[in-house]
Amino acid sequence: MGVTTISFTPREVVSELDRYIIGQQKAKRAVAIALRNQWRRQQLSAELRDEVAPKNIIMIGPTGVGKTEIARRLAKLARAPFIKVEASKFTEVGYVGRDVESMIRDLVETAIGLVRTEETAKVQTRAAEHAEDRLVHLIARKRAPKEAVASHAPSVPMGTPPQTFGPFIVGGAPKPPPPPQLSADELGQVRSQLRRGELDDEAVDVDVSDGGNPFVTVFGAHGMEEMELNLRDMIGQLPGMKGKTRRRRVKVPEARRLLEAEEAGKLVDMDRVQREAIERTEQAGIVFLDEIDKVAGRQSAMSGPDVSREGVQRDLLPVVEGSTVNTKYGPVKTDHILFIAAGAFHVAKVTDLIPELQGRFPIRVELDSLEKKDFVRILTEPKNALCKQYEALLATEGIELTFEASSIEAIAEFAAEANRRAENIGARRLQTIMEALLEEVSFTAPEREERQVRIDGTFVRNAIEPILQNEDLARYIL
C-alpha cells in the first residue's frame, strides 16, 4: 500500500510559506527540506527505506517571530497527518496529567479524519444519489393520504422480545408498519420539485444515528483517554444501543446534508481507512512539539527529578527515537515520524535538555528577532496582513479604512520601541498597537456618519504617543 506524501519541492514550500510569514528563511528552508526528505524516503526500496531515519528539527527563537505560524501553515501544506502539541501539557507517567504517548494517539485520530475525508470524497456522488432517493421517499410518504398509510398497518401489534446482556435488560421496540407503496409518477414529481429547490422550505422527519448514551456519562481524567474511549465503544455494543437512531424534524436542505453524510458513512470501508491511516502515520506523520523549552531542566544534586521537566524529557525520548504506541486502532511505530520542536529558550538553554534528547534533534535553527523593517513588511505583504484584516472587518460596517505609508512606518516604529522598553513579544506587539489605535473607530463604526477613515502618521502618533510616554500605562495597554 503506497503512502501519498507532499510532493512540493523545497523551493515551492518556501514560496508558499513566504505568502504568510516574513523572513526566517533558515527555518523555512529547514522544514522544506525535512518535508521533501519524507517524500524522497518513499521513493527508496523497501529495504533501504526502513534504514533512513527522519532528521528532526529544533527551532530556537523569541516569542512572536513565526515558529508557531510556520507550524500552522505547514499543516495546511502537508498532505500527511500533522499535529501541533504543547510540551508543557505533558507530565511524567504515574502522575496526574497527559502522558507523552497521547500525542501519537491524537496523530492517528488526525490521520483517520484525513483518510476518511478522502474516501468520502470518492463516494460523494453515489452518496448524494442514495440520499436523494431516501429524501424523495420521505417527502412522498409524508404527502401520501392517511388512509393509504393506515391500510398498510398490521392488524396485530408486533414487537421484539426483551434481550439480556449480562445484568442489562433491554426491551424490544414495536415493529413499525411497512411503508405505503408509491407510484413512479409520484416519486418523479417530488424528485423534480426537489431538484428545482421548490421544497427547500418544507420540513421532514429524518431518523439519524444517535451517538450519545443519555443514561451513561463517562468522566475521563487526564491520561485516561484510552480507557474512556474503550468504555464508550463497549457501551455502544450493548443490545439496543448499537444502531440506535433518533428522529429529527429539519428543513429539506439540512435533511439532504444529514442523509448524504449517513450514506457516505455506509459506503466508506472503515477497516481500510484505519489501515491506511496507521500506515500514513508511521511513514509520513509529523508532530510539531511547541514550548519544548518549558520542559528543559536537569536534575540537581539538591533536589529530585522535576515531574514536569526531566521526567517528561525521559518519556519523550523513546517516542522520538522510535517505539511502539498502542492506540484504539492498533499499534503504531514512531520510528519514521518527523518531530519538529520549537521553543523561545529565554530562561533555559538547549543544552539544558538531557543529552539523549538533544541528540534526537540533529538540526537546530535559530530564528531572528524582528525589527522595524520586518514589522513594515508584516503589516502589508502577507496574504493575511493585519492592515488587510482590519480593512475587511470595518468594511462590514460600511467603513472604508485606508492606511497610508506614513501610518505603516509609525506603527512599526512604535511596535519596535515598545518591544525594546518591555518584554520582546515580536509581531504580537502589532496587534496590541492596532487595537489601541483603532479602538475609537471600532467602537463608533455602526453609527459613524463619516464612512471614510484615513490613517496617517499623525493619526498614529496622536493615538499611541500619550500611551507610550506613560510607562505605567504602556505596561498594561501595549
Q: Identify the pLDDT of residue 104.
A: 93
Residues 129 and 235 in one domain: yes
Q: Identify the pLDDT of residue 361.
A: 92
Q: What are the start-end ranges of the H helices in 398-470?
A: 405-421, 428-437, 439-444, 457-469
Transcribe 9-73 into DSSP letters. -HHHHHHHHHTT--S-HHHHHHHHHHHHHHHHHHTS-HHHHTT-----EEEE--TTSSHHHHHHH
For residues 467 and 136, give the distance between their C-alpha atoms in angstroms, rounded to a whole number: 65
Lowest mean pLDDT among 187-196, 241-250, 293-302, 353-362: 293-302
For the ranges 228-242, 319-333, 419-433, the one whose mean pLDDT is highest? 319-333
Give the CATH number of the domain where residue 415 resides.
1.10.8.60
Residue 52 placed within a domain: yes
Q: Which residues have CB under 8 Å from 230's CB, separation 6+?
A: 328
Residue 1 placed within a domain: no
Residues 263 and 129 in one domain: yes
Q: Phi/psi of residue 53, each to 5°?
A: -90, 150
Q: Residue written as cell 527505506?
A: 49
Residues 142 and 172 in one domain: yes
> With bands split at pLDDT 50, 70 and 90, how would you rate the model's confidence at 216?
very low
Q: Identify the pLDDT of residue 261.
A: 87
Residues 391 and 341 in one domain: no
List beta partners, residue 197: none
Residues 224 and 291 in one domain: no
Boundary-marking domain end, from 267, 282, 300: 267
Say yes or no to pLDDT of 172 above 70.
no
> With bands split at pLDDT 50, 70 and 90, how would you rate the model's confidence at 471?
low
Q: Residue written as cell 531515519?
A: 53
Residues 249 and 315 in one domain: no
Boundary-marking domain end, from 307, 336, 366: 366
Strands (E), 319-410: 324-327, 330-333, 338-343, 363-366, 400-403
Task: Look up the domain containing 162 and give its range.
Answer: 125-267
pLDDT above 90 as % of the chain: 31
Q: At what angle do helices 372-380 and 405-421 cross, to 10 degrees?
A: 130
The CB-side HSE value for 234 (13 A sphere, CA atoms) comes to 10
CA-derived radius of gyration, the chain: 29
For residues 36 and 31, give the distance between their C-alpha atoms in angstroms, rounded to a whole number: 9
Q: Which of 35, 33, 14, 13 is nearest to 25 (CA)?
A: 14
The three three-digit cell numbers of residue 370, written as one number: 524582528
Q: What is the pLDDT of residues 224-275, one digit of tens each?
A: 555 555 565 665 556 555 566 778 888 888 888 888 888 888 899 999 999 9
> With bands split at pLDDT 50, 70 and 90, how would you rate the model's confidence at 150?
very low
* Torsion of the alpha carbons at 272, 274, 279 and 282, rounded to the nearest 10: 180
Mean pLDDT (whole number) for 306-328: 83
Q: Are 134 and 264 in contact (CB under 8 A)?
A: no
Q: Are 287 and 337 in contact (CB under 8 A)?
A: yes
Q: Identify the pLDDT of residue 91.
A: 72
Lowest mean pLDDT among 17-31, 227-241, 381-395: 227-241
The CB-side HSE value for 344 (13 A sphere, CA atoms) comes to 14
Q: What is the DSSP letter of 346?
A: S
For residues 323 and 99, give the distance between their C-alpha atoms in angstroms, rounded to a whole number: 15
Residue 4 placed within a domain: no
Report which of residues 439 and 302 the model is more confident about: 439
Say yes or no to pLDDT of 47 above 80.
yes
For residues 422 and 334, give the distance between their C-alpha atoms in angstroms, rounded to a whole number: 42
Q: What is the pLDDT of residues 272-297, one digit of tens each?
A: 999 999 999 998 899 999 888 888 87
Angstrom CA distances, 339 to 85, 135, 278, 294, stand at: 11, 47, 17, 17
pTM for this structure? 0.76
For residues 437 and 450, give the distance between their C-alpha atoms in angstroms, rounded to a whole number: 18
Residue 144 placed within a domain: yes
The three three-digit cell numbers of residue 204, written as one number: 421532514
Report which of residues 378 and 3 the model is more confident about: 378
